[in-house]
């Protein structure tokens, strides 16, 4: 069975389509996980305002939990291969990012956990995530 010549333009289109799909689900996983991390952090602080982790006299803010999750996601993504682990690293990265963003207002204002800047930053993150999910397809249509 003889096949005709390979149409490189079709191959290029298929590769771009796959990359676009991958970018979309990866971005969606990161964003949705960040939303969950952000909301769970906020709800926890509302329900348990006096709960603090103190180790050797140091108050460990929950943005450190976010940093640990981001570092773990990075370690997984550069060490392992496979779709399941890529998805896991996206989820861990998103959760960590959401938890970190949750405390940005506290860090930027030197103590105001409920600062409006936190919500502004999360809104900007959401807009950028939506742009990453849909802008490539929009720009691809000429």
Q: Indicate whether 142 pLDDT > 50.
A: no
100 neighbors 65 (Cβ within 8 angstroms): no
Helix (H), strand (E) at residue 119: helix 116-140
Residue 106, phi-psi category: left (phi > 0), alpha (psi -120 to 50), beta (remainder): alpha
Asked if residues 126 and 98 have their Cβ atoms less than 8 Å apart, the reply is no
Question: What confidence category does residue 55 fall into, taking pLDDT thresholds of 50, 70 and 90?
Answer: very high
CA distance 50 to 33: 26
Which distant-in-sequence residues (6+ apart) come within 8 Å of 88 by Cβ? 73, 76
Q: Which two tokens stand for residue 13?
A: 């289109």
Residue 25, pLDDT score:
85
H or E stretch including 43? helix 8-47
Q: Is the pLDDT confidence value at 20 over 70?
A: no
pLDDT tens digits, residue range 70-96?
999 999 999 988 889 999 999 999 999
Confidence of residue 128 (pLDDT cuts 50, 70, 90): very high
Indicate whether 2 pLDDT > 90: no
Provide the residue count of the chain: 142
């Amino acid at each position: 069975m003889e096949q005709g010549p390979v149409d490189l333009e079709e191959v290029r289109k298929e590769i771009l389509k796959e990359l676009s799909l991958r970018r979309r689900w990866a971005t969606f996983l990161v964003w949705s996980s960040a939303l969950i991390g952000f909301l769970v952090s906020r709800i926890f602080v509302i329900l348990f305002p006096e709960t603090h982790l103190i180790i050797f006299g140091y108050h460990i803010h929950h943005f450190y939990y976010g940093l640990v999750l981001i570092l773990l996601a990075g370690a997984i993504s550069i060490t392992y291969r496979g779709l399941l682990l890529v998805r896991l690293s996206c989820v861990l990265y998103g959760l960590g990012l959401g938890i970190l963003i949750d405390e940005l207002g506290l860090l930027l204002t030197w103590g105001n956990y409920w600062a409006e800047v936190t919500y502004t930053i999360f809104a900007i993150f959401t807009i950028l995530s939506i742009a990453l999910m849909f802008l490539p397809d929009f720009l691809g249509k000429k």
